[in-house]
Structure 1
Amino acid sequence: MSREVVQAKTSALALAEYKMDGGQVLTADTVRNYLTSGNSKATDQDVLMFIELCKAQKLNPFVRDAYLVKFGSQPAQIIVGKDVFIKRASENPNFNGMKAGIVILDKSGQIQEREGALKLPGEELVGGWCEVYLKDKDYPTKALVSFEEYAQKKNDGTLNSMWSSKGATMIRKVAQSQALREAFPNELRGLYQQEEMGRTEKLPEKEVKVGYATAGQKQGIMKLASMKGLYDYEKPKDISKMEEFCDSNGYNLKELKYEEVDEILDLLSKYEPKDINNIVIDTDFVEVEIQEGQVTLEEIN
């Protein structure tokens, strides 16, 4: 890649900014520090595309309208929040309701389209469907999707826990997304929900507060705290020892500011646990990447 191309991309990213109606400003640093989910760092191109999509579609990622998800070497994915599709459709004056359900192969070998997500014992789930009704059309916009095409599987070929336990709900959501996107192309163009993108991990739902410690910084703090005997990964929801440690030093663990992170890490590195058998590791802080399925401090607050 030529120097000119690199400089052009860097310049575009530096200038990329989206100021929302509420006064919040979406920048590259904010996306990287607060709005990227997964265990890998998003590229400059990923960040730029995310900002531009949010701007074009008027999405507010601070209230979880959209997520930038990056795991390992997989391409980054931009996923919208679970309520965006329904909200956008409901706000359109041409929207006249919708129906959605599943497609099953019943005990007699007949294919049925059933409204809702009820699958009876002995039936085989083969797909999902959705019909969206518009006031200016005499017929609905319909999507019919295959369960086999979208169901997520583990390395051994079996369904993962979400698709094996809630397959009917998942494939119904996929059908809803496709039908709504086709019915409202201007409002939903380029937007995809989690079920369509093959992601089943829990995405954060709390509103993002810029200026507070990031998820990666919190992971780094809790990792060092575990080395000092102040946190146990086998009891992830018990943060009482770390709360006491922070309180005693004048900090609020759950409301920790971005600039306070290094101060807490310095205090932790100097802390001598009462149990001399604990291993103390004094090291420079490196922001920890969140692993898929790992509990974050945000989830236990």
Structure 2
Amino acid sequence: MSTAMSKAESNALVVSYDVLGTHVELDLDFVKKYLVRGRAELVSNQELVFFMNTCRQQKLNPLVQGEVYLIKYSKDDPAQMVVGKDAYLRRAFDHPDYLFKNDGITVQRGNEIIQKEGCCLYPGETLVGGWCRVTFMRNGKERTAFKEVAFAEYNKGKANWNSKPATMINKVAVSQCVRDAFPKDYEGVYSEDEMIASGAIPAEYRELDDPKPEEPAQEEDDPAISQEQRQQLFKAAQANFGKDKGNAVVKSIIEEMGLTSTTGMKMSTYNKVVERLVEICTAHKAELEAEDGTKNDGAAEE
């Protein structure tokens, strides 16, 4: 019996949702072609569906460069869903219950073990590990999550772990601590640094792509966007600013990219435009909330 998925079945598996005013629509073919790093041909339909549904559930936007993607490098291992470090930490910082965090590294100085803030390793100090403490509210009370991780346990002696060991082990501690503080918001998602550190993906995974000495694939690797994607871009802007101003916002972003229109726009440029639009929409939303707060204060005084 054939396990191939029919076109009708593939089209039925479409995930559609909104993130910060941007409409995101994912299907199996799009994810497999543009959002898999490593060996896309090894990713199963089940893994693609899990990725799409997790993006929808966690309100992640894979159309923003580096925010979330899928890695598959071996047929013997499952695909891994990875969230870029900026998006990963932003989820914690934007959480309404988040208060603040303290983090740093653990070092041995002589016979003394010291937890210090920051990632600067002084002469005479030996790196022992990393730590993080996140303070947040839960059920009306202030709570604290704490994680400390051992450098020896995570160091694989590769890539950034050789050149920036203190920074790398600190990132692992921070990633684990924010997940401990907000488990529901991080269910099924991990930062790239955390995945590499744990050995779930190799630090040099990009080298596992099939080498293609000829260069014909550049057009396929960075294709022009579709008419539907152009429409989604303008709809997202119009939903936040209205039709005329929304169109003007998109036009200004396009001009920032050195273009005069979206015609023929490449996917790599489109991702940057979407990312910039999300930034502008977020700032606009914050301004509106501030104005509402000022009006409410004035009404209360009257």
Sort the TM-score into its range (normalised by shorter chain).
Answer: 0.5 to 0.7
1 CA distance for matches of 2:101 and 2:6? 42
Between the aligned partners of 2:48 and 2:143, the Cα distance in structure 1 is 40
1:215-294 aligned at under 5 Å gives the runs 223-224=214-215, 256-257=223-224
Q: How does 1:70-219 map to 2 (within 5 A)?
A: 70-73=72-75, 74-106=77-109, 108-135=110-137, 136-152=140-156, 159-198=157-196, 199-200=202-203
Unaligned runs of 5+ in 2: 197-201, 227-267, 269-302
3-state SS of paired residue (1:196): helix
Q: Distance in 2 between matches of 1:12 and 1:60?
A: 24
Cα distance, 1:34–1:192 mapped onto 2, change above 3 Å = same
* Residues 100 and 10 of structure 1: CA distance in aligned 2, closer, same or farther (over 3 Å): farther
- Contact 2:129 2:169 (8 Å CA) reproduced: yes
Distance 1:189 1:27 in 2: 22
Distance 1:34 1:169, change over 3 A: same
What SS class does the counterpart of residue 89 from structure 2 fall into? helix
Gaps of 5+ in 1: 153-158, 204-215, 227-241, 243-251, 260-297
Q: Is the 8 A contact 1:194 1:200 kept in 2?
A: no
Scaled by the length of structure 2, what TM-score is found?
0.61
In the alignment, the residues of structure 2 paired with residue 86 and residue 258 of structure 1 have an alpha-carbon distance, to the nearest angstrom, of 30
Question: In the aligned structure 1, how far is the partner of 2:153 from the partner of 2:11?
Answer: 39
Quickly say closer, same or farther: Cα 1:40–1:256, change in 2 above 3 A: closer
Amino acid at match of 1:188: Y
Once the two structures are superposed, what CA deviation does each residue of 1:168-192 show, in whole Å capped at 9, x if it has no partner? Answer: 1111111111110111122222211
Choose between structure 1 and 2: higher strand proportion: 2
Q: Match of 1:195, SS?
A: helix
The total of aligned residue pairs comes to 214
Shift of 1:12: 7.2
2:107–2:113 Cα contact (<8 Å) kept: yes
The one of 14, 17, 21 aligned to 1:20: 17
Counterpart amino acid of residue 72 in structure 1: S
The 2-side partners of 1:174 and 1:11 are apart by: 42
Following superposition, the deviation at residue 139 of structure 1 comes to 4.5
Report sequence identity in percent. 33
Task: Give 1:53's aligned residue.
Answer: 54
Q: Which amino acid in structure 1 is aligned with residue 62 of structure 2?
A: P
Alpha-carbon distance between aligned partners in 1 of 2:186 and 2:6, rounded to the nearest angstrom: 27
Spell out, residue by residue over 1:50-97, the C-alpha distance to the aligned partner (whole angstroms, 9 max, x if none): 111111111111113211011133331110111223222222222111
In the TM superposition, what is the alpha-carbon distance from 1:258 to its structure 2 partner? 7.9
- Structure with a larger share of its residues in helix: 2
